Amino acid sequence: MSRLIQNHTHLPKWPALVCLTTLLACLPANPATTIEDDGVGGGGGGGGGEVMTTNASSTVSGVGGSFDGVGGGGPVAPDCEEPPNLAGSDAVVATDYDAHYTIFDLGEVPGVPDALGGCVVKHDDPNVLLIAGKSEQADAQIYSIGIKRGPCGHILGFEGTAVPVADTPHVDANLVYTDSNLMFYSQWPTYKLNQMLPGSTVPDRETDLLSLGIISIGDKGPGGIGFVPIGNSGAGGLRIVTWPQGHWYQVGLQADGPLFNVTDLTKKTQLPNNPGGFAYVPKGSPGFPESRLIVSEWVEGAPDGLSDRVATYALDDQGDPIPTTRKEFLSKIHRPWGAYFEPLTGDFLFLQWQPSGPMMQNPPDRVYIVQGFSPPPPPAIPR
């Protein structure tokens, strides 16, 4: 995955505010308590404003309204708000899903250098996105940037300019929280798995996966990682997929204070098409009557990304994908990477590496977002 690293700063443009009736329709019914932003450990800065939360709902000041259903519930009310730019013909939802889902182009992330890596909404501030920059490079970092939300909570774009908040060499396609806000991420191509506590600016634990027997022939390291979510068979189990061979592993964990020891790796299956970041589709999402995994596929060397897709798989009784059940979610997309369902609305975010440009030039990496999914459950308790 050789990448051309570029550094671009681009100021976002915002759409007009949505109508007042939509705002009133989204106001919460429950009282709230203030939570202060701790700044680091998943990153501070980048904007956001005061965060008001309860167990059942969240109110975000400064983003035009409020939204309910943190970590659960059904899809948000229709016609709330949309990002300003539809994805266009370069990113197409497959026909089996296009009645339910719409894809938007959020564009570059101001202040974050290519290549983009995994992203996650900061655990204590729904107005802040953490995202990896210079992904897979020795000087990779996690950055913090404000996100602009509409009155029903949907992410509309970025706010301000990103700032680095943690040094995370070789960080790759997924940033994943546990129930205690401990963050896991993988390193590529160094075959390592890292853990970082809230408040940390460097990894607190690094595990060499080669020493545990991860397959290396034809591979270059683990890319996507994730926990099987609450409500699924195998909930709390950590999973890893390698790039480019697609070896899928169950990861054994043992609690060690606030961190975990990685005890073993068990290969369960192999996915095709150079799988990268993955995430579990939230239950109740339209068009998904069964539990499925969603995976970004980047087939390196394919002309103009003609073989690249975003696909889904049904799950077995341990929360692992069944390769024969592969089904396309995006039938056209160039070099997708990463996969993440943000917790407030279920909006699905993924990255685009080196989008095609004129005269073989590589424009800056971009972020895409898909509306229509249900919100995911809270982070799982590792087991």
Query: What's the CA gap between 94 and 366, in Å, rounded?
Result: 20
Domain count, the chain: 1
pTM of the model: 0.80
Domain residues for the domain of 69 are 20-371
* Residue 377 maps to a domain: no
Residue 221 has φ and ψ, to the nearest 5°, of 135, 170
* Residue 378 maps to a domain: no
pLDDT reading at 111 higher than 70: yes
Segment 145-174 mean pLDDT? 96
Query: What's the CA gap between 109 and 215, in Å, rounded?
Result: 34
* Residue 177 maps to a domain: yes
Q: Which residue has the higher pLDDT, 95 or 49?
A: 95
DSSP secondary structure string, 11-77?
----PPPPPHHHHHHT--SS--EEE----SSS---S----EEE-SSEEEETTTTEEEE-TT-SSPPP
In this predicted structure, what is the pLDDT of residue 170? 96
Which among 114, 172, 170, 111 has a CA at the least distance from the CA of 143? 111
* Residue 362 maps to a domain: yes
Query: What's the CA gap between 328 and 287, in Å, rounded?
Result: 12
Q: What is the CATH number for 218?
A: 2.120.10
Q: pLDDT tens digit string along 190-239?
A: 999 999 999 999 999 999 999 998 987 888 889 899 999 999 999 999 99
Segment 318-339 mean pLDDT? 93
* Residue 301 maps to a domain: yes
* Residue 291 maps to a domain: yes
